[in-house]
Structure 1
């Protein structure tokens, strides 16, 4: 994937506009519609998105623990689902004040050579959110631009419309399976392997400490089954503890990952991902190290069963 940094895009394009936080099933529906249009005309696909998230600017949402997919994770999933190019617009109050039609004329038509635009059913844009799907459809008619407004998508086992806000609620409640269903892919944390205190190795359960971006939403403290992925494409079944390790009196949360049935080489400094698949149990304080070790062995067995 390529981030667009030039002011103009030469090839005719199909532009999808949105925050794409989560790159969930609804966003994937937009991508599929864009692919259908693009393949029929030989055009390129572009995702036009924003950083920071507009809610952080317009609604003063705190930047900590909000995003489902920080920028690097968002770009990863967009690429996985077939998006060729991404343009990230810096979002501030100056951009927010641009009226809807000038925004379309400059940022979409002129800058990206849009011959088609794809948005979600609840898409709003321009100053004070005055631009709606109807605005876009009329603009497309007058400018000879195809406009496709994608209808809402529901989860497989829920009548609730798939949305980033619903997925955030799932993650905060520890409902990882439900969140993953609505995402259409695992909830992922991506970060560098950092040096820890080495305590896991001393008790026979070596772990990798992965740095969690402060902007990313996280589930409740606890133990989770999932998969560790390296940048080389390697993938290992694993169990992770996200929390403050109360048995040892920690105060800052840490994501510790233990790979099942595999001893890894030195991965310090490497960038890795952890796919959260299922919640195993809540974090708890134990009377001592021996009790903790016994519980960890139970966690490992349960994680192995969940991931089989």
Structure 2
């Protein structure tokens, strides 16, 4: 499973980890995770995260997260840059299972395959949610680093690496030194 770009993962979280966030907003991104890659992501504003996140190397990380509904009596529709609409339901339709703690693999970077100009933080939560949850909140921790951000020549190579990242994260988070951090 090891790739040349993989960073050795210690047996337990080492400084600067764990990095813990407060609940932050889930916002719409570019819409590529689900539609193009088949790997949905929850995007969060980097300015709502601890300042240390801004200083981390661009790349792929892992940890645990928990989604929370936001009390809202309204919905909101936001237009993406590509013109598609996104319905913000603030997590109103999520079930109790969706609100449990789940493993997460996350990207902090510029996504060079897509030529992004601004740094993004995108979480792939390892759970099949009952519905979309734009506008809800997510709290997460970062427990370690898997690999630096890479550029890809094909979408298939990107998808393959993301799936390998997911497997590495699952395996690591199932070990006792890491699973102890699942209580958010």
Give the TM-score normalised by structure 2: 0.64
* Partner residue, 2:52: 217
1:230 to 55, 62, 67: 67
User: What's the C-alpha RMSD, in Å, of the aligned pairs?
Assistant: 1.8
Q: CA–CA distance in 1 between the matches of 2:141 and 2:131?
A: 20
Deviation at 1:261, TM superposition (A): 3.8
1:193 to 26, 33, 36: 26
Question: Is the alpha carbon distance of 1:264 and 1:193 closer, same or farther for their aligned partners in structure 2, counting shifts above 3 Å?
Answer: farther
Asked whether the 8 Å contact 1:189–1:212 carries over to 2, the reply is no
* 1:8-49 Cα shifts (integer Å, max 9, x gaps): xxxxxxxxxxxxxxxxxxxxxxxxxxxxxxxxxxxxxxxxxx
* Partner residue, 1:268: 134
Secondary structure of 2:166 counterpart: helix
> Structure 1: any 5+ residue segments left out of the alignment?
1-175, 181-185
Question: Is the alpha carbon distance of 1:264 and 1:257 closer, same or farther for their aligned partners in structure 2, counting shifts above 3 Å?
Answer: farther
> Structure 2: any 5+ residue segments left out of the alignment?
1-12, 70-98, 175-184
Deviation at 1:225, TM superposition (A): 0.9
- Which runs of 4 or more aligned residues in structure 1 lie more than 6 Å from their structure 2 counterparts after TM superposition? none
Secondary structure of 1:217 counterpart: helix
Deviation at 1:264, TM superposition (A): 5.1
1:303 to 125, 148, 169: 169
Q: CA–CA distance in 2 between the matches of 1:177 and 1:296?
A: 23
1:208 to 38, 42, 58: 42
The higher-RCO structure (CA 8 Å, 6+ apart) is 2
The number of aligned residues is 128
Name the structure with the higher helix share: 1
Give the TM-score normalised by structure 1: 0.39
Asked whether the 8 Å contact 1:224–1:241 carries over to 2, the reply is yes
* Partner residue, 1:291: 157
Asked whether the 8 Å contact 1:200–1:207 carries over to 2, the reply is yes
